[in-house]
Amino acid sequence: MVNVRCATCKYLRRRCPSDCIFSPYFPSNNPQRFESVHRIYGASNVAKMLEQLPSSLRPQAAETLCYEAESRIQDPVYGCAAIIFQLQQQLHNTECELAKTRAEIAIIRSNGHGQESDIYSADEY
């Protein structure tokens, strides 16, 4: 049986042992994936981070490291922090909009008939 090296060991030009920490998460058919994480984190840092985790959590960790590495490559200044900032802004805007809408509801309810024309179109009156 031919032992296929994982993307990491191919890149690093080394033998891929049977217990290679990288091979379940960096298969040989996707070399770009490892190249991205290696470029941002370095292979040894990735190995250290994966080794510190139980094996059941390593797939998610590898996936998120890949995602963050790709984000950093696409946006070398802010990486995925840009997305967080955008979401925080959106959260803030939506909260303001919600507060405004609820205030409008309270006004409509307290005013009763006839005064919603102050808020909405007045052409029916």
User: By CB under 8 A, which span of 4-12, 18-26, 27-35, 102-110 interacts with other proteins?
Assistant: 102-110
60 part of the interface to other proteins, by CB under 8 A: yes
Nearest residue (CB) to other proteins, 4 versus 98: 98
101 part of the interface to other proteins, by CB under 8 A: yes
Could you tell me if 62 and 49 are in contact, meaning their C-beta atoms sit under 8 angstroms apart?
A: no
Buried b (16+ CB within 10 A) or exposed e, 52-62: eeeeeebeebb
Cβ burial, residue 26 (10 Å; 0-12/13-18/19+): buried
Interface positions with other proteins (CB under 8 A)? 39-42, 44-45, 49, 52-53, 57, 60-61, 63-65, 67-68, 72, 76-88, 90-92, 94-95, 97-98, 101-102, 104-105, 108-109, 113, 116, 120-121, 124
